[in-house]
Copies of this chain bind each other. A is one copy, B any other.
Amino acid sequence: MLRQLFAWIVGRRLENERLSEEKFSVFWGMPILSSDAISSVAYAVEEMLWILVPVIGMASYLWMPRIAISIILLMLILVFSYRQVVEAYPGGGGAYVVARDNLGSGSGLIAGAALSIDYTLTVAVSITAGTAAITSAFPQLLSHHVAISVLLVILVALGNIRGIRESSRLFSIPTYAFIAAVLALIIVGIIKGASATHYSIPEVEMSHVPFGTELVTIFLLMRAFSSGCSAVTGVEAISDAVPNFKEPPEVNAKRAYTLLAFAIIITFGGITYLTNVYHPVPTPNLTIIAQLAIDVFGRGGMFYFIQFATAAILIMAANTAFAGFPTLLSVIAQDRFVPRQFAMRGHRLNFNNGIAILAVLAIILVVIFQGSTHHLIPLYAIGVFTSFSLAQVGLLTRWFREKPDGWPYKAVVNSVGAAATVSTVLILGVTKFSEGAWVVVVVIPILVVLMLGIHGHYKSVARQLDISNEALIGTDLSRGTVLHVIVPIDSMNTMVVKALQYARTMTANVEAFHVEIYPGEGDKLRNKWALLNTDIPLVMRQSPYRDIVGPLVEYINSEDHASKPGDMITVMLPQFFVSKWWQTLLHNNTSIFIANAMFRQHKVVVSVLPFYLEADK
């Protein structure tokens, strides 16, 4: 039942051959990979106002455009830099691969850890912001906002488990709907703003806002810039997922970057401009976009459409992370720095383990931060810009090392990129450290140490399992070990006879072993054994403490048994299998305990001879 329901939700499994079919075109791929970058417009402007308005009031609206221009500039630098990443690394992997290949695996792991944190926060921030768009439209849902966020994370994760292509069509619509909605808002807003001095914000709300009485400090502007940087997050995603584009993937990915740059400049620039016209004030219950929509269109159909489109793109932004993170993890898993299960494709050809762990981590964040975007933001951008910086510096060193055609131009682009992103990391670290960025500073090294430990384990396993070609050639398979089989038995029955027959076929060297729990209890077995008329010895041991496993372990480790040192002991367990699972509860299941104890003894092979019981009659 449950299995069928799950199968219905995730769809039927797909063959390997269909892997190449499941690819993005530019038009459908850009929105799915960049809904994060585009949607962050929805909260980035608001987060900047949260920093400025409580301190400098109306003066905020004068400073907003200047900060916005610096952020758009930063974004353009990033897009140009990342187009070069795509060109240099058509295999995907983004900052992780770039840093690993050019700066060494240590830097790669730092980038990988930073990106992992970034993806997790992308899901948490986008989903909580999307929930805020919903509760702005329907204030009666405000008290359930944490539950709504958790539910949305689960829905997006399930959608991703279903598969790439189906999701790309479906999940692209919200991005285009959001772009359309914001364009309408901007155009109508500009026209209305030009035709009338149209400040509809109630005096009540404005009255508590100071009117430029405070000093506009550099630090304040840097804090606003830091918050605004959240608009740039998600630019990485396309470069991580280059192989998901249709042939030729590099060209399509670069085109997607160009398309993305246009979308962000227009939406982010336009919304910032509108704040300068309508002067919205950030409050916890009504988003800035919602306030602008009310100012421009009133609380009518367009208002609800804008809220829906905003919620939808923010939810799809979480989807960006669900597309990017599992791909990144699979690349790191191929390098053996995270569990190899992350490199395995599921029924629908996606990396389900990565999707599942991302959902769990995001839900934990949402619950801890009680669904507040505002409190999650300070943790957010530092991880992103750390990976940006590593990618830029990595690429820069590459150009100097490899000197490909036109490398001076490339080096200039990435120098500018490196300078911009490194200084942004410093600004973020300084301005947001005490508000939460310190968490990221602590977690990144922990993750790196963890990944190094995992890598060490895999290397150790490989070293112990590896066999050289010379050794293979020299192997003589016919010169096997001497076999010695011990069959633990409780009583004499059909199953035991089968096990003894099987053991006898393996080797002449067979013993039966019985633990006598109460003195004399084994006499019946002894008599039955005599009837069998075999030379297989029946070994009996007393167990004053009613323990069956202990005496067997003792016997195997003692010198009494017939094996010589170096022999391989096989413990042959006759085990019946019942026809209904609950019937297992009616039996002692001693075999399981014996098998577990045997695996703790070195050099014991455990064989299970099954005996299938029919249903009760």
Residues of A in contact with B (beta carbons under 8 Å apart): 13-17, 339-341, 344-345, 347, 453-454, 456-461, 464-467, 469, 472-473, 475, 477-483, 492-495, 497, 500-502, 504-507, 517-518, 528, 531-534, 536, 544-546, 568, 570, 576-578, 583, 585-588, 595, 599, 602-617
Task: Give Cα distance in the complex from A461 to B577, angstroms.
Answer: 10
- Known contacts A16-B518, A17-B544, A531-B472, A502 near B460 by CB under 8 Å: no
Which residues of B lie under 8 Å from residue A616 when comparing CB positions?
453, 456-457, 459-460
Q: Which residue of B lies closest to A595 (CB)?
A: B608
A465 touches B544 (CB 8 A): no
- Known contacts A339-B585, A533-B473, A602-B610, A481 near B505 by CB under 8 Å: yes
* Shortest distance between the CB of A485 and any CB in chain B (Å): 10
A–B pairs, 18, beta carbons within 8 Å: A17-B544, A340-B588, A344-B588, A454-B586, A458-B586, A460-B615, A467-B492, A467-B493, A467-B497, A472-B531, A472-B532, A473-B533, A475-B497, A481-B501, A482-B505, A483-B506, A506-B506, A603-B610
* Shortest distance between the CB of A460 and any CB in chain B (Å): 4
A477 touches B607 (CB 8 A): no
A contact face: mostly helix, strand, loop, or mixed: mixed
Select which of B345, B469, B479, B595 is within 8 A of A501 by beta carbon: B479
B502 touches A568 (CB 8 A): yes
Q: Which residue of B lies closest to A602 (CB)?
A: B612
* Shortest distance between the CB of A313 and any CB in chain B (Å): 33
Quick one: copies of this chain in the complex?
2
Which residues of B lie under 8 Å from residue A466 when comparing CB positions?
493-494
B617 touches A494 (CB 8 A): no
Which residues of B lie under 8 Å from residue A599 when comparing CB positions?
577, 608, 610
Task: Give Cα distance in the complex from A505 to B459, angstroms.
Answer: 31
* Shortest distance between the CB of A503 and any CB in chain B (Å): 8
- Known contacts A483-B505, A502-B480, A607-B605, A494 near B467 by CB under 8 Å: yes
Task: Give Cα distance in the complex from A528 to B480, angstroms.
Answer: 20
Which residues of B lie under 8 Å from residue A578 when comparing CB positions?
457, 461
B458 touches A570 (CB 8 A): no
Which residues of B lie under 8 Å from residue A483 when comparing CB positions?
502, 505-506
Which residues of B lie under 8 Å from residue A469 when comparing CB positions?
528, 531
Which residues of B lie under 8 Å from residue A611 when comparing CB positions?
465
A344 touches B546 (CB 8 A): yes
Task: Give Cα distance in the complex from A74 to B381, angstroms.
Answer: 82
Select which of B502, B504, B614 is within 8 A of A605 by beta carbon: B502
- Known contacts A480-B505, A531-B469, A613 near B544 by CB under 8 Å: no
- Known contacts A494-B465, A497-B475, A460 near B614 by CB under 8 Å: yes
Q: Name 6 extra pairs, CB < 8 A, besides A570-B607, A604-B610.
A: A15-B544, A460-B613, A469-B531, A472-B497, A479-B501, A602-B612
Task: Give Cα distance in the complex from A494 to B214, angstroms.
Answer: 74
A457 touches B583 (CB 8 A): yes
B546 touches A345 (CB 8 A): yes
* Shortest distance between the CB of A352 and any CB in chain B (Å): 11
B16 touches A544 (CB 8 A): yes
Which residues of B lie under 8 Å from residue A568 when comparing CB positions?
502
Select which of B473, B477, B532, B604 is within 8 A of A531 by beta carbon: B473
Task: Give Cα distance in the complex from A570 to B602, angstroms.
Answer: 22
Which residues of B lie under 8 Å from residue A459 when comparing CB positions?
616
Which residues of B lie under 8 Å from residue A14 when comparing CB positions?
545
B473 touches A500 (CB 8 A): no
Which residues of B lie under 8 Å from residue A339 when comparing CB positions?
585-587
